[in-house]
Amino acid sequence: MTSPGTNRLAMGRFAPFAVLAFFALLPFWMTDQYFLHVLIITGIFIIAAISLNLLLGYTGQLSLGHVAFFGIGSYASALMSIGFDLNVFGWMLVVTPKPVWFCILCGIFVAGLAGWLIGKVSFKIRGAYFVIVTISFAEVMRLVALNWIDLTEGPMALNNIPPLTLWLPFAGETTFWSKVPNYFLVLSIAAICFEIVRRIVVSRVGRAVIALRENEPLAMSVGIDVTRYLLIITVISAAMAGAAGGLYSHYVRIIDPDVFLFIFTVTMVIMVVVGGKGTLWGPIVGGLLFGIMPEALREFAAPEVQWIIYGVAMIIVLIFLPQGIVPAVGSWLQSRRHGSEPPATPEPPGAKGAADPS
Amino acid sequence: MSQAPPRTVLEIDQLCVKFGGLVAISSMSFHVDHGEIVSLIGPNGAGKTTAFNAITGYLQPSSGEARFLDKSLNGLKPNQIAELGVVRTFQKTSLFGGNTAFENIMIALHRQGRQELFGSLLRLPNMHAEERRLRDRADEILEFFGIAARRDELASAMPYGEQRLLEVAIGLATEPEVLLLDEPASGMNPTETMSFVRMVERIREQDITILLVEHDMRMVMGVSDRVVVLNQGEIIASGPPSEIKHDPEVVRAYLGTSAPHA
């Protein structure tokens, strides 16, 4: 919806397949296990960034506690797979270990439920209020994870989380011990999330929330129940973040309350904003950039220097491409295609520099 | 549609709006019949936009109520009122600025669609049919308002006169029973205003009742069946344009108390 013009749509039809094919073939020639590990973690964060972009980019609501849904997904999924017993008002609730695929689904469900709750309480009043509620929610979740030692082991962390075991065609019962199957798992979930967002944003539901982002009073005047659609999108977004959390816990196989740290939310927001919020490719471009760059810098620079470079890179991108990388590249491509004609979209200042980071 | 007796579609019954101690509208009553064009006029600050806000649910009246086909609109949210068929436009240009003209209309066609989340995720076959229908309808509406050439331009980048047309197009796309237009011609040049008057008449031909707030007197007198004059929150006159033009109260309200009138 955000990209006017038909030629860009035509290009957009093949680009996802090309990118997917590139990343699907990557492990066949890139055998460096460490690099695969970086890509897996980056992929998990890209899924989280895609989910945040659905909320921040398309509905315009800033969730600064998005990591809460990620953390809830990872804890729920990990606990279900390890099994736990819980004393609920004198009742003994005993959960035996469940198959991991089922646990990830539970994590998605619980995170979605949390999203529904948060949406329900905070969307009566939006904007800053929503930001505050989400920040507090994430912080409260971290304290719960830290202090509810019976359930979460607190700072001792949940460890020995089992990896995913799946029945696969041709391979039979497979346990995802090594990097390559995990890589493909994350890649396919990321692709599914991308497709879900793509389908939503061009649909009637997507138009309803984009209308809310652009002009809430007008959206209401044409009969859109903005709160209802916002709630639907929040649940989807939270569930997606929960999926990322589930993947994280079964890949890393140890989680502690630090999964709720504010810095992870910030990382997601940076990925989305630098890549281009409200664009399908924004979180992917931003995620790859900020997922891989710290690792790429590691060889050349001391950790302090790395973080400084990381910060400077972000500031530079935002000064010169305030809309983010993807919209800037888009309008640059369009202006090139039209030759000397000025682009239809108002060009952000400094958009000519868009060629460099791509 | 019932042809013979004029049916009251919108009834404003002793509507009163107070902001703290300030009385913005005191006990306003008037009605709009099916197929009519009624104008609500008055000097700046008379309470016209406040009346619109109170009727369409953007603000709750302190007392009294607005009724649409005998159903009270009090306590309903703007989107619920729009759902019933009472749709407004805004005084200040109000568009989905980051979207193209075509997308603006697609958004406005919300009420004409039925697709929910799962239908769109699963790409059910009826979704394609519905999307095609809505897209055709959107193009039809742009054509009707003569802005089809701007189809793929960002609404915020369109010329002012066409932005105002697009606003009315958005209102019309919702297929309202009653369309409330809040100063749709403000800022238009005389030529644009004249073509806009013709547009309003063509909208009426589609069996849509119109309540208009407008400052341009040529437009008001040319297009309205009845005029309701508001001054300082009170209705001071109402009737056909020819009567209103010569009403001494109205002349005084517009020209000040010192106006010679006797």
Q: Of A146, A119, A312, nearest to A226 (Cα)?
A: A119
Q: How confident is the model at residue B5 (pLDDT cuts 50, 70, 90)?
A: low
Burial A251-266 (b: 16+ CB within 10 A, else e): bbbebbbebbeeebbe
Going from N- to C-terminal start, the domains of chain A cover 37-266
The structure tokens listed for B214 are: 């407008």
Beta bridge partners of residue A356, listed in sequence order: none
Instruction: Give percent of chain B with pLDDT exceeding 70.
Output: 95
Name B65's bridge partners: B13
Short-list B85, B66, B247, B50, CA closest to B178: B85
Name the nearest CA neighbour of A322 among A267, A275, A263, A283: A275
Tell me the pLDDT tens digit for each residue of B78-115.
999 999 999 999 988 899 999 999 999 999 999 888 88
Residue with tokens 């239809």: A344
B87 touches chain A (CB under 8 A): yes
Q: State the pairing for strand pair B209-213/B178-182.
A: parallel
Residues 6+ apart with CB under 8 A from B30: B12, B38, B228, B235, B238
Q: How far is CA A35 from CA A183, A293, B178, in A?
A: 11, 12, 63
What ipTM does this complex have? 0.87
pLDDT tens readout for residues B174-222: 999 999 999 888 888 888 888 888 889 889 988 999 999 988 888 888 8
What is the reported pLDDT for B258?
A: 53
Whether residue B91 lies within 8 A of chain A, CB to CB, comes out as: no
A205, A211, A236: residue with CB nearest B96: A211
In sequence order, which ranges of chain A are alpha helices (DSSP H)?
6-29, 33-53, 66-82, 100-122, 128-147, 149-152, 179-201, 204-214, 216-221, 226-252, 262-275, 282-298, 303-320, 325-337
- B115 vs A203: CB contact, 8 Å cut-off? yes
Best of B120, B126, B150, B180 to disrupt the A interface (most A CBs within 10 Å) is: B120
> Is the pLDDT confidence value at B154 over 80?
yes
Between chains, do B115 and A206 touch, taking CB under 8 Å as contact?
Answer: no
Q: What is the pLDDT of residue A16?
A: 84
Q: Report phi then psi at B243, rounded to 5.
A: -75, -45
CA distance B59 to B68: 16
Residue B43 zone, left/alpha/beta (φ > 0; ψ -120 to 50; rest) = beta
Would you call B110 and A224 a contact, using CB atoms and an 8 Å cutoff?
Answer: yes
Neighbour tally for A249: CB within 10 Å: 29
Which residue in the block uniquely carries the two structure tokens 């897996």?
Answer: A40
Q: How close B144 comes to chain A (CA, Å)?
A: 19
**A312-327 burial by CB neighbour count: b if 16+ within 10 A, else e?**
ebbeebeebbebbbbb
Res B262: pLDDT = 45
C-beta atoms of A223 and B83 within 8 A: yes
- Cβ neighbours around A182 below 10 Å, total: 22
8 A C-beta contact, residue B148 and residue B142: yes
Dist. CA A249–CA A80, nearest whole Å = 11
Asked if A222 contacts A13 with a C-beta cutoff of 8 angstroms, the reply is no
Query: With an 8 Å Cβ cutoff, is B97 touching chain A?
Result: yes
Q: What are B224-259's pLDDT values in tens digits?
A: 999 998 888 888 888 888 888 888 888 887 766 654
Best of A195, A205, A222 to disrupt the B interface by mutation (most B CBs within 10 Å)? A222
CB-based burial label for A240 (10 Å; 0-12, 13-18, 19+): buried
* CB proximity list for B74: less than 8 A, separation 6 or greater: B60, B61, B65, B66
User: By the CB < 8 Å criterion, does B88 face chain A?
Assistant: yes
The rounded average pLDDT for each run of 10 residues, N- to C-terminus, in chain A (358 residues) is 45 79 84 88 94 93 90 93 81 81 93 93 78 90 89 83 79 78 91 94 93 92 92 94 94 89 86 90 91 81 77 84 86 74 44 37
The structural domains of chain B, ordered by start, are 1-85+178-262 (3.40.50.300), 89-175 (3.40.50.300)
pLDDT (tens digit per residue) in A92-112:
777 888 888 899 999 999 999
Rounded Cα distance between B246 and A74, Å, is 75
Between CA A131 and CA A118 the distance in angstroms is: 11
Determine, for residues B152 and A224 on separate chains, whether the beta-carbon distance falls below 8 Å.
no
- The pTM (predicted TM-score) of the whole model is 0.85
DSSP A199: H
Partnered with residue B182 across adjacent β-strands are: B213
User: Is residue B50 classed as helix, strand or coil in its secondary structure?
Assistant: helix
pLDDT, average across residues B141-148: 91
Q: What is the DSSP string of A330-347?
A: HHHHHHHHTTTSPPSSPP
Q: Which two tokens stand for residue B187?
A: 């800022």
Chain A residues with CB within 8 Å of chain B CB:
1-2, 4-6, 196, 199-200, 202-208, 210-211, 213-215, 217-226, 232, 236, 344-346
